[in-house]
Amino acid sequence: MSRFAAPIAEQIWDMKYRFKQADGTPIDVTVEDSWRRIARDLARAEDKPDVWEEKFFEALEDFKYLPAGRITAGAGTARQVTLFNCFVMGTVPDSMAGIFDMLKEAALTMQQGGGIGYDFSTIRPRGADVKGVAADASGPLSFMDVWDAMCRTIMSAGSRRGAMMATMRCDHPDIEQFITAKSDPARLRMFNMSVLVTDDFMDAVKADGSWDLVFGDKVYHTVEARDLWNKIMQATYDYAEPGVIFIDRINKANNLSYVEEICATNPCGEQPLPPYGACLLGSVNMARLVSNPFEANAELNLDAMQELVATAVRMMDNVVDVSKFPLDAQAAEAQNKRRIGLGVTGLADALLMLGLRYGSDEAARQTDEWLHQIARAAYLASVDLAKEKGAFPLFDAEKYLASGNMMNMDEDVRDAIREHGIRNALLTSIAPTGTISLYAGNVSSGIEPVFAYAYTRKVLQKDGSRTEEEVVDYAVKMYRDKFGADAELPDYFVNAQTLAPADHVKMQAAAQKWIDSSISKTINCPEDISFDDFKDVYMQAWDQGCKGCTTYRPNDVTGSVLSVSESADTAPGETADAPHESDTENGAEVVYMSEPLDRPQSLEGHTYKLKWPDSEHAIYLTINDIIIGGHRRPFEVFINSKNMEHYAWTLALTRMISAVFRRGGNVSFVVEELKAVFDPRGGAWVQGKYIPSILAAIGGVIETHMVATGFLEGEGMGLKSDPKAEVVTLNTPRGKACPSCGQFEMQMVEGCMTCRSCGHSKCG
């Protein structure tokens, strides 16, 4: 019998985590092979590897403990990849040479698969004097554009696209330009952005006071604090960015405040880190720990949870020793502090199994209690590791126990740390678990409420036929299995769309109390929420002790909600039968292909000649198309040049683009990505239009072909529309098209745009 609770779980494993040879032949024949591979690799750091391999396998078995994707995909593969998810890079120097040194370090880190964070507050503002060159500074936003372009060109290891977080202090002179940068939809697309909000600024907002924008010792502008706050709120109301990070609160609560200052986070915000800080992630699957679900005596097995937490802490501590690091500075930082980020997933499902409504006072109390127990178990497990293997090198008992977060820890835990030390400086974090939650059978992700109790996913098979799969939340499936497929869901089954924002905040605050790092959490707001009520959500987060706040309000920019009334016999959160869109490549029925289509014997195509100025030889592009459902779409590309200097990259581009095209869905993003690549040596004017690079020119040729064949509506536009298409869903947001599978399922999940269909995540 398959270990997978749903077809989508097995597909996610095959796509994301299954170890395969270069030609696609599986090395992991079963998911048990994947668990064994991970257990064996992490156990090699032990004196008795055989014993710990079995214990680690037991923790992984049946998806009880879920290491983050980079560990699951990379451990035991001998690939040159990092197993760490999160990096904050070094402090960006305020000099041209230093800035581009940092750019190189970022590229090396992303090449190995790490998501990175940067604080751009250290770069002088636009218009400031640049001594020695008689020029004005271009400002941090201009250099962020350079980072953004770099990120576009790097595909992270394990088929994970690079992800970045940019932060800027609320008192930087360019903060207003930072806040509004995402109003240009083509700008800084590879960044998540957050404002570092200080305690003094929040005090000034509440007191309606003035606020100085400062760099160095110079005050550049003075603004009204409340006006600046309103600009932050307006931008996130309109564009879902920037987020807000309460940076002073983070530093005061940091266990390591005596040796480091934090000024940035990883891409999803759950890991505030110092310069060159690194952290790895993993989650306890709480949905697997509930005994007697949906019965009067339902309870979470605390003994099993504590044992699982202890094993997970040991596994994660071993990752510090077996992982590779892109930079020596990152390795040193990880070894000196041995940070880990153990969190949870399936919390909302576990609450449902106990009959608790997510967002209720009782659910918040239960969350507080569970995460308290997890924190205790994690810290005591780390103390036991310190007895056996030694405390982290920078441990200072007096200073560590006097840090903000440790002041709240139970006295018996503090006594144990005082006597024996602790192996890991920080231990808990709530990560975005969008992909691993699907892999675990579509459990609710992180501490989020259930996003949708059921939705239909369409899969295109190799023979061109289409199948429909119902993707059902783990707890809902369990309820149906227990009480019948037609059983009406009780009132306490609520979802992310119907939940009041205040309930989201309440749950985040309840969890934050026992999380020593931070929490990746999205507070879903209704589209028609008033601006004043929206601002109040952030004030609630501040007042209740959260370390940051990320919201998502559906609109024309972020993705809208299309709905019709539920039928009387439809359970909350479920969908009744509704008209489907016509069989086209447009709209909600853009499909994810489970495997690439077989190539027919012959294809129809066109060859284009591209002459790049100052280049001795032309480049020839052949684009062949396939017909599916009466519609023509690109299937493969061949790029050729007599210039041998072009050979490697044209061959690589041929293979990569063709592989993407054969996966199907909305592949128009290939054009967007190529056209956005700029050459630092300069582009060229072609037919009266400036083209930033030869790669951008290739993107333009492919776009021209797509328009000519009817695949695209026009230059710079999306898929050609179908006037007969009707899009009707029930209580389910229709998001933007996924760049991986093409379905309109991109939704904000824990601060990151994530595809509910294939698991693709903007944040890697």
Q: Which residues are known to be catalytic? A: 266, 268, 270
CB 13 within 8 A of CB 4: yes
Question: Distance (Å, rounded) from C-alpha 231 to C-alpha 670?
Answer: 34
Contact indicator for 354, 290 with CB cutoff of 8 Å: yes
Parallel, antiparallel, or unpaired: how do β-strands 290-291 and 155-156 relate?
unpaired
Residue holding tokens 């270990």?
3
- Token couple for 154: 């790097």
SS3 state at 627:
strand
CA distance 107 to 103: 6
Separation in Å, CA 7 to CA 4, 14, 756: 7, 11, 14
Residue 284 near residue 374 (C-beta atoms within 8 A):
yes
Place of tokens 């000034």: 204
d(CA 38, CA 77): 9
In the chain the first and final C-alpha atoms are separated, in Å, by 31
CB 437 within 8 A of CB 13: no
- The closest alpha carbon to 540, from 510, 566, 562, belongs to 510
How far does Cα 78 stand from its chain's mean position?
25
CB under 8 Å to 49, separation ≥6 — which residues? 40, 43
> Which residues lie below 8 Å from residue 653, measured CB to CB, with a gap of 6+?
637, 639, 695, 698
Nearest to residue 253, comparing CAs of 62, 436, 15, 519?
519
Torsion angle defined by CA atoms of residues 492, 496, 500 and 504, in that order, rounded to the nearest 10 degrees? 100
Burial class (CB in 10 A: 0-12, 13-18, 19+), 634: buried
Strands in 162-217 per DSSP E = 164-169, 191-197, 210-215
Query: Which uninterrupted H or E stretch holds 603?
Result: none
Instruction: Give the Cα separation of 377 and 387 in Å (integer).
Output: 15
| Residue 405 near residue 258 (C-beta atoms within 8 A) | no
Closest CA to 694 of 706, 704, 681: 681
Secondary structure (DSSP) of 300-360: E-HHHHHHHHHHHHHHHHHHHHH---SSHHHHHHHHHH--EEEEEE-HHHHHHHTT--TTS
The CA-atom distances, in angstroms, between 271 and each of 256, 277, 405, 497, 515 are 13, 9, 15, 26, 11
Report CA-CA distances (Å) from 258 to 423, 425, 426, 513, 647. Answer: 17, 12, 13, 21, 53
DSSP-based three-state secondary structure for 548: strand
- Determine contact, residues 170/157, Cβ cutoff 8 Å: no
Residue 330 · residue 87 · CB < 8 Å: yes
221, 211 in Cβ contact below 8 A? no
Rg (CA), the chain: 26
**Helix, strand, coil distribution of the chain in percent, nearest 5:** 40, 20, 45
The answer to whether residues 747 and 451 touch, using CB atoms and an 8 Å cutoff, is yes
Which H or E run includes 634? Answer: strand 631-641
